[in-house]
Amino acid sequence: MKIKKLILPGLLTIAVVISVVLSSSIWINPAHYETKQSNKVTNGQPAIDNKQISNVYSPTQVIQTDGDSNQYMLTNHSVNLISEIGNQIKHYKNTSYEQTSHNNKLNYMKMLQYKDSILLNYPDKISLKIFSEFLGTSLKSSDNYDINRIIIPLDDSNDIYLLRDSDYSIYKYHFKDTNVDSIKNAIKNNVGQIPITIGLRKNSPFISFDQSFKMPQYGYLINKIQQSYYVNRLLSDSQNFSTRRHRNSIVYGNQSSKQLTFNNNGDASYFDSHSNSISTNFTQFLTDAYKNVAKMNSADNLSNLRYFAYDNKSSSVTYRNYVEGFPIFNQNKYGAIQMKLVDNTSLRYNFSTNSLQIPVPTGRDEIKLPSTKDVFKNLKDRGFDTDKIGSIELGYQWNNSKSSNILVTLQPTWFVSYYGHWENYNQMITKGGY
């Protein structure tokens, strides 16, 4: 115990020193940093980094179904399972495809329980063209349709299946080699298994965690990005811009088309009015959103960022930081970054100026979480209308440290979409719904 008490503060001190040195190199010599970043910009627009866009738009969950139809959410605290599996399926050579089912709920649910397979889930729909970035190859298709899930059978069929929840569509793709042995190796070592069941709720696939389980807590040093960094990247083409200081914010703007606002709590927003119409085509919208996110962030800041949601009604896309395959909530009320179409020619970005940097040991015990069934029961007992619950996500709560302004603790818990807003399950239970 004495050794543990000595080691943890020592490791934290070393990590803090490294963080300060790295951050100082950017603050002291931003021109050098900007020069490195500018190599990826062409004609004022960032060139698409295929590696980064495939990471940002990668699946976020891995589910294994064994030969006895038992299903498990897979976790790995040492490596990124999605990246490991992605490396094994890169550059598949597609030979044929067909749509095998449409508007058949029974067939769809059977497919989701395909024996001896791996299921990769997206948190929201994605277009085939964007998924092809993750796959590293263009898939044959007569239409750029949307998908939610990918099933990879662990047999010698050399097939994969793409699934769309909205109309229970299933597309079968045949490849020359699906590299199954390498995928099996990727999910074999140091992998945790959480028992789950996939059923239907409100006519959509719903993942239930069958029993209580434990999840680790994490500590991270954060990088508080300077306002000048964003001003240089977002207002660099403005010859003159004004600065207005308010009690809780500071606003930079060029009096016409662009405005950048920083709040004292670390949240920020950026309004950009274009001279031309903005495409609302789903694939183009996601591609343009990525370009803008890449323009605002360094490659390091993109490493943990993942696509989380798309709202067709509000024409908005939300990205969150992920840790060990699970989303982080309450970094701000929007997510890490949200891009929203205000009108045909204007965009608004809401984002946090704080980003995860270096993991540090916490020395804290794992937290025990209730099963999905108990989550619903406990919420109902506390007066919440469970019919108004949209979905439930297992994720991490961003908690600022009271002892350091550059340290955060990430605590696992359930997050509940209630009346369309994400709420922390523990906080809901504490306050009640009466």
- Which domain CATH number covers 251? 3.30.310.160
Same domain, 328 and 238: yes
Same domain, 339 and 417: no
Residue 86 confidence class, pLDDT cut points 50, 70, 90: very high
Query: How buried is residue 147: exposed, middle or buried, by Cβ count under 10 Å (0-12/13-18/19+)?
Result: buried
Same domain, 59 and 178: yes
Predicted confidence (pLDDT) at residue 303 exceeds the cutoff of 80 = yes
Q: Which DSSP category does 377 fall into?
A: H
Report pLDDT for 172.
97
Same domain, 296 and 423: no
Same domain, 105 and 133: yes
Task: Using alpha carbons, list the distances in angstroms from residue 241 to 62, 245, 274, 425.
Answer: 47, 13, 17, 43
Report pLDDT for 354.
87
Output the average pLDDT for the chain.
86
Cα(212)–Cα(89) distance, integer angstroms:
33
pLDDT digits (tens, 9 = 90+) for 245-298: 999 999 998 767 889 999 988 899 999 987 677 888 999 999 999 998 998 887
Q: Which DSSP category does 187 fall into?
A: T
Predicted confidence (pLDDT) at residue 126 exceeds the cutoff of 90 = yes
- pTM metric for this prediction: 0.87
Same domain, 140 and 233: no
| Within-domain flag for 16 | no
Cα(421)–Cα(390) distance, integer angstroms:
9
Same domain, 377 and 327: no
Same domain, 352 and 372: no
| Within-domain flag for 42 | no
Same domain, 190 and 232: no
Say if residues 360 and 353 touch (Cβ distance below 8 Å).
no
Same domain, 101 and 157: yes
Predicted confidence (pLDDT) at residue 364 exceeds the cutoff of 60 = yes
Residue 321 confidence class, pLDDT cut points 50, 70, 90: very high
> Percent of the chain having pLDDT more than 90?
63
Range of the domain at 375: 215-219+359-431
Radius of gyration of the chain (CA): 23
Report the range of poorest mean pLDDT among 194-208, 323-337, 342-356, 417-431.
323-337
Last residue of a domain, one of 327, 356, 385: 356
Same domain, 239 and 347: yes
| Segment holding 197, helix H or strand E | strand 192-201
Query: Read out DSSP for 384-413?
Result: --GGGEEEEEEEEEEEE-SS-TTEEEEEEE
Task: Give the mean model confidence (pLDDT) for residues 21-49.
Answer: 42
- Which domain CATH number covers 386? 3.10.450
| Within-domain flag for 119 | yes
| Within-domain flag for 14 | no
Query: Read out DSSP for 297-326?
Result: S-HHHHTTEEEEEEETTTTEEEEEEEETTE
Same domain, 347 and 423: no
Longest distance between any two alpha carbons in the chain, whole Å: 67
Predicted confidence (pLDDT) at residue 400 exceeds the cutoff of 90 = no
If one counts the domains in the chain, the total is: 3
